[in-house]
Amino acid sequence: MYNKVKIATSVLENPNLFTHTAPHHADEIFATAMLSFILEPVVLRTRDEEILKEADGIVYDVGSEYDILNARFDHHQLEFNKVREDGIKFSSAGLIWEAFGHDILRSMDCEERNIVEVASIVDSELVRGIDANDNGQLGKPEEMTLSTAIATFNRNWDEVEDEVDSSFLRACYIAQEVLYHEIKRAISRVKGKAIIREKIENAEDKILILDKFIGGWIEEVLKSDILSARELLFGVYQGQDKNWCIRAIPPTGAELMKQRKSFPKEWRGLKGEMLSKACEVENSVFCHKDGFFAVAKTKEAALEMAKKACM
């Protein structure tokens, strides 16, 4: 797992990480969090060019230099033009993840054969958005983003100056937790792909049956190269409460709030006996009013509901 982040107030405290002074931004916060998985971070926050030039450690989001061999990871200099294939520019978070992501994944026991794919998922789902926000490529979202949430930890104008480092450390802890769980989720998804593929190959009656919920199963169905995956209408799996869930499969990855086939209108919004009577299936529990999700007490009841919904 990750190590506790410490703040150094001078080079005499032997810092191994160097980034800029307050206010903090999500990119160097997450870069710090990433590095805490593979070393014990002691961070010096400075903009002193002489200190940064002589720094014996990793310098990121400051220093006007991008040089992997010398552990320099800034992106603000005019000559920096590193971008992803989709046009999203790199910030310090993306540069650090690209350089150290594989080592971070190894520290979390990611299987070597899965490292490249897991690293790509984490970049796509987490790091890319942080970079885009830092480089002004997101526009103005209607909701608070992860980057703006991290920014809320900065010292407010009416708070004392001494709080800037404690604010940085609190933000780093949040980033560590987010990164840790995102990595775990990505590893789990890649491990589950082989299971989902086998289930798709063995699916019958346009219903995918999973022994238990596997994160990312809908996405895997939608991008599967197995022709029969295109015909699947519902997925059935046991939920955490031991009931069995039936989920309508969306038509495409861009239409996740729609369904290839919805549950019948007569079932929607009903519960318990009223639902069992409407669908003529005992042990029915619930059907969502929007027709994309339903629950039954047993696997047999869930399959019966799914089969009827396919008609």
pLDDT grade, residue 159 (50/70/90)? confident
Pairing of strands 293-296, 234-238: unpaired
The closest of 128, 129, 71, 127 to 99, measured between CA atoms, is 71
* Among 256, 247, 235, 234, CA closest to 286: 247
pLDDT at 23: 96
306 φ/ψ angles, rounded to the nearest 5 degrees: -65, -45
Alpha carbons 183 and 262: distance in angstroms, whole number: 33
From CA 83, how far away is CA 214, in angstroms rounded? Answer: 33
C-alpha to C-alpha distance for 196 and 203, rounded to whole angstroms: 10
Question: Six-digit token pair at 288?
Answer: 């969502």
Residue entry with tokens 């790091």: 127
What is the reported pLDDT for 162?
A: 74
User: What distances in angstroms separate CA 94 from CA 8, 135, 206, 255, 276, one per listed residue?
Assistant: 24, 11, 41, 28, 51
Instruction: Reply yes or no on whether the pLDDT at 168 is more than 80.
Output: yes
Token match 């209607």: residue? 142
Render pLDDT for 287-303 as a digit per residue (tens, 0 to 9).
Answer: 999 999 999 999 999 99
Residue pLDDT, tens place only, 232-286: 999 999 999 999 999 999 999 899 899 999 999 999 999 999 999 999 999 999 9
**What pLDDT digit, counting tens, does each position of 77-102 carry?**
999 999 999 999 999 999 999 999 99
Mean pLDDT, rounded, of the chain: 96
